[in-house]
Amino acid sequence: MPRKLHVKKGDIVQVIAGDDRGKQGRVLKVLPKKNKVIVEGVNIVFKHKKPTSQDQQSNIVEQEAPIDISNVLPICPETGEPTRIGRRRDPQTGKLVRYSKKSSNKVELK
């Protein structure tokens, strides 16, 4: 069973390592078995598409490639800076909630 990750689909994250360091974007997809995420506008690669039928042309398509999940940090909505994420029990509901370790407040990062 895959472990809990610090980012979810829809979070705004900042890349902290690699060629796209400093870029921000929304998480489009999380791949927990591979420990990777696909971030909008980050790690763009070119795919060469062959024509599939006689009336279609071949072309080059730009698309996002997965990057390692350890290279991204969620953006805290209060401070606007990258922050680490923790989990703790909400005393009222008893459910686990994510919180920003920078501002120490419960945050819904979506």
As a whole number of angstroms, the distance between CA 70 and CA 16 comes to 9
Spatial CA neighbour of 36 closest among 68, 70, 2, 4 = 68
Question: Would you place residue 2 in the very low, low, confident or very high pLDDT band (cuts 50, 70, 90)?
Answer: low
Query: pTM, whole model, 2 decimals?
Result: 0.83
Assess contact for 66 and 43: CB atoms under 8 A.
yes
Question: Would you place residue 1 in the very low, low, confident or very high pLDDT band (cuts 50, 70, 90)?
Answer: low
* Residue 33, domain CATH: 2.30.30.30
pLDDT in tens, 81-98: 999 988 888 888 888 888
In a domain, 32, yes or no: yes
State the residue range of the domain holding 28: 12-81
Above 80 in pLDDT, residue 3?
no
Question: Residues 110, 71, 79, 84: what is their CA dihedral angle, to the nearest 10 degrees?
Answer: 90
Spatial CA neighbour of 76 closest among 53, 103, 97 = 103
In a domain, 91, yes or no: no
The alpha-helical segments, DSSP class H, found in 20-95 are none
pLDDT in tens, 4-60: 888 999 999 999 999 999 999 999 999 999 999 999 999 999 999 888 887 788 899
Number of domains in the chain: 1
